[in-house]
Amino acid sequence: MWGACKVKVHDSLATISITLRRYLRLGATMAKSKFEYVRDFEADDTCLAHCWVVVRLDGRNFHRKFMTHVASQFASSYVFYWRDYFEDQPLLYPPGFDGRVVVYPSNQTLKDYLSWRQADCHINNLYNTVFWALIQQSGLTPVQAQGRLQGTLAADKNEILFSEFNINYNNELPMYRKGTVLIWQKVDEVMTKEIKLPTEMEGKKMAVTRTRTKPVPLHCDIIGDAFWKEHPEILDEDS
């Protein structure tokens, strides 16, 4: 339950002050895995009870407001590039994202955090695959599907998919089973450039190859050692 919310817009910098009172703290249920110990590094940032909480948003000091910049940039990019990936599906509501900054002390702890997120992706996607198959193909209601899956293990869910729907979960697209990992890679780009010599009246168009560093999406396993051996530059001190 949330209390009253006051919004005041200031000058041309579009500074917004929002004050609200929070009465109830909502928790989240996470999937269990051996990597979940990394949550111990998350600092407790719970707001004091029965106090006014003021959140100020503005368009400056992004070099000092690190997490707010990441969250706002992600939300705006989500909307901006939506049509590039979902051209025939309209965005039905304005999205919003929260975030947190967590400091991990070693390379191994960082790898375990990323492994935890990928394991969580697998657990959630396996559940959702069975859940929606029960609803869309077996005609169960959401409550019935949830009851059918309550207490089941990964092997049980795989058996339901294979025996009742002829679905081998291992044949599902890696994008759904593994999630998406973005890494910086050097990519060769071929572009057409017009080159004109001093003695020539008209320039000539030539293909020029240029190497750029760009974020590249991967859908692969990052829990094992193969990924890290193939991309040692990720954990390099100079990266």
Per-residue pLDDT band at 208 (split at 50, 70, 90): confident
Q: What is the DSSP string of the chain?
A: -EEEEEEEE-STT--EEEEEEE--PPP------GGGGGGGGS---PPPTTSEEEEEE-SS-TTT-HHHHHHHHHHHHHHHTHHHH-TTS---S------------SHHHHHHHHHHHHHHHHHHHHHHHHHHHHHHTT---HHHHHHHHTT--HHHHHHHHHHHH---GGGS-HHHHT--EEEEEEEEEEEEEEE--TT-SS-EEEEEEEEEEEEEEE-S--SSSHHHHH-GGGG-TT-
Which pLDDT band holds residue 20 (cuts at 50, 70, 90)?
very low
pLDDT of residue 189: 85
What pLDDT shows up at residue 56?
64
Q: Which is higher by pLDDT, 94 or 168? A: 168
| pLDDT for the residue numbered 144 | 97
Give me the pLDDT at residue 45, please: 73
pLDDT tens, 51-108?
Answer: 777 666 666 666 677 788 888 888 999 999 999 989 899 999 888 888 888 888 899 9
| Across 175-204, average pLDDT | 83
pTM of the model: 0.69
pLDDT at 57: 63
